[in-house]
A = this chain, B = another copy of it.
Amino acid sequence: MRRILKGNTKTISSAVIKRLPRYRRYLNELKKKNVDRISSNELSNLIGYTASQIRQDLNNFGGFGQQGYGYNVESLYNEISAILGLDQEYRMIIVGTGNLGQAIANYTYYFKSGFIVSAMFDVNPKLIGVRINDIEVFDYDMLDEYLKDKDIDIGIVCTNKASAQEVVDKMCAGGIKGIWNFAPMDLIVNEGIALENVHLSDSLHSLAYYINRNSQQSQKKD
């Protein structure tokens, strides 16, 4: 990570943090459409949060809106980007080079600048030495050494359940600052290391719930 954000470090609820990337996405779309400013009400219509929720969320960061003017789209976008730390560069590695690891390696162009995968690791001899999206796959045995040599910010865990905690322990010991976990389990990380889970099956199971609920409701109406 090349630069550390200055600013206040008051604790902001994780619910607000979860919403910020979404604000940023919508602001980016507005920017592309050359929209200069937007009120919390207009933003509410777009994003689906209430206007008061939006004002409250953005007030957490000192409030960028002005009464009667609304928010300046570009500066709000830039502020949120800076709050999220997206004005910096992150070096990442992927451990586990199966389908999901490969998809993530290929998917990084979506993340645009700022997130760079510098290496991948696997135990499978058939994959070691292969390049995926021009990223070399190294032997998993070299992970400790690699982390000692390089300044890596984010470790992406795409292994199976059985290996995930061991991988994370190595990443923590190697000075990684954040873990992006795709293994279908909850991991233990050292204090001060950020952890973000993408539990795909949890998401699919929630979807199943809503499908059933909707079916029940429409049966009731019939």
- Hey, which bits of chain A sit against chain B, CB under 8 A? 1, 4-7, 9, 17-18, 20-22, 24-25, 48, 83-86, 88, 90, 98-100, 102-104, 106-107, 110-111, 115, 153-154, 177-178, 180, 184-186, 192-196, 198-220
Contact = CB atoms under 8 A, between A and B. Distances in A.
Given A4-B212, A111-B201, 15 more contacts: A1-B212, A4-B215, A5-B216, A9-B220, A20-B205, A25-B202, A86-B205, A99-B107, A102-B103, A110-B200, A115-B204, A154-B211, A180-B203, A198-B198, A198-B200
6 contacts: A7-B216, A84-B212, A102-B103, A104-B200, A107-B200, A178-B211
A186 B103 CA distance: 21
B85 A21 contact: no
A135 B106 CA distance: 21
A193 B218 CA distance: 11
A201 to B, nearest CB: 6
A85 B212 contact: yes
A9 B102 contact: no
A127 to B, nearest CB: 14
A214 B199 contact: no
